[in-house]
Chain A
Amino acid sequence: MNRNIVQGRVLDEAGKPVAGAYVTVQADEGQVQDIASITTSEGRFRLSLPRGGFSVFATTKTGMHGMVHLSEFNVERFSPIIHLHC
Chain B
Amino acid sequence: MTSKIVSNHDPVAEMQRVQRKVAIVGEKGTLPSHNHQQDDGLIVRGVLSEPLVQRAGFGQTLLSMKDRRAEVSNPLASPWRMVCALEITGVDGSCYVGTGWIAGPRLVMTAGHCVYSKDSLGGWAQSIAVSPGRGSDSSAPVYVSTSFKACDHWISREDENHDYGAIILDDDIGDKHGFFSSSSYSDAYLTNRLLNISGYPGSRAGEIQMHHENRVNSLSPTRIYYDIDTEGGQSGSPIWLYEEQGLDPIVVGIHAYGAGKAHIGNSGVRITEEVMGFIRGCTS
Contacts and interface: CB of A to CB of B under 8 A. Distances in A.
B230 interface: yes
B158 A25 contact: no
A11 interface: no
- Counting contact residues on chain A (CB < 8 A from B), the size range is 20 to 34
Nearest to A33: B113
A26 B60 contact: yes
B39 to A, nearest CB: 23
A68 interface: no
Interface in B131-159: 157-159
Which secondary structure dominates chain A's binding surface? strand
A4 to B, nearest CB: 9
Contacts of A35: 88, 96-98, 111, 113-114, 120, 232-233, 235
Interface stretch (B8-16, B188-196, B202-210, B273-281): B202-210
Nearest to A4: B119
Interface string B96-108: 1110000000000
B94 A1 contact: no
Contact of A36 (B60, B96, B256, B260): B96
B232 A24 contact: yes
A5 B117 CA distance: 12
Interface string A7-44: 00000000000000011111111111111111010000
B260 A30 contact: yes
Nearest to A25: B232
A46 to B, nearest CB: 6
Leading 7 A-B pairs by shortest Cβ distance:
A36-B202, A24-B232, A48-B119, A27-B260, A22-B202, A36-B232, A36-B233
